[in-house]
Structure 1
């Protein structure tokens, strides 16, 4: 991490520690992707005082997410059992799974409103008892093997995802090296055609791939896929891939 980034992080951490209740027991503050993650042993205190976090956000001008310190989270099986006891049976919970990287317990239910509870009371109870942060989803009408495989992958690669989130966060919040200058856009596909959208956007300090589509109607590699053989494109130098929209056919 660059010295200036480290200095800014220390200053932000100091400000947060000075303005949150000591009883919340904040253990660390980390850059995670586009947000600042505040880890606490008693996250429910910060969740209950959401206006306090909003005031801090308005000062430091960065999005904040509150997470529980991994050391205080209940084991997943115990947390699931407790969550099912707390959530009303009328909510019709269909599935519960976990994201260790984000410290989230994901709850799928046919009636998500009942999982949330009036003024979020049920969610706050889950946080207080399990120390996992609830994320409520409506149960899909049809089960999907693809989604099940993705869940398994996310769970299995939680350490790698955590490392990447920190790395991306440090790059996002790094000090500006150059003032805004020239921008170069290189079409790698999607020009005067439907599908295969891919544009390489380059500045003096960043390389971003905007979309990465295909042309399913062509069997020729140079026409079916973006032109990744272009001299300007180097996958190892990409800072981000931005997907503007997704179509199953292209």
Structure 2
């Protein structure tokens, strides 16, 4: 059985520990704050045995070395993480990794960075997507190109609609403001925004999210919708996506 333990860390990151209760193995999904990861693992009575990085940014891989030193965990990551730490196994698109009998498929979701990957555990209906996609948003396009990033988002869109997406940041309120600006006539979005406001007013997380809802409301996942293309321009979805991303950057 797999258990996901989610906890806040740094200013707006979420940390995730993925635990296999049969084998006792525990994977740290990214390492924004080594001390908090080690503290949370100790509170749960777990030992971190693996680190699964999504991309190289310091708020995702900056704690690798400290956690490895404390636990001896093996680091599985895209090659770009070598900028920050040693990697025991470089993984990329269509590879798979295991936590005991459970297997995660590696999905190329590059665009935010050129080596960004997601970990998709199909049998459990969960995906750890890092900064590729957020509730009502997506990551900034720091390194990639619009067509590349749109193709990455499309890989996420093609997962089962019931997939639970574990995004790495609590950005949803800010994303919601832009989403309403981008897609003001979307009734499903209006209902979602109301729920988000209620959750945040109570200090509750808006992560994880479910793909089905994001497909209905997240403007970046709807760049192929004819109404969005008409409003934001572009003869191809990646062009509409580029227009949306540029608008969000300056919103």
**TM-score of the two chains, using structure 1 as the length reference:** 0.26
Higher relative contact order (CA 8 A, sep 6+): 1
**TM-score of the two chains, using structure 2 as the length reference:** 0.26
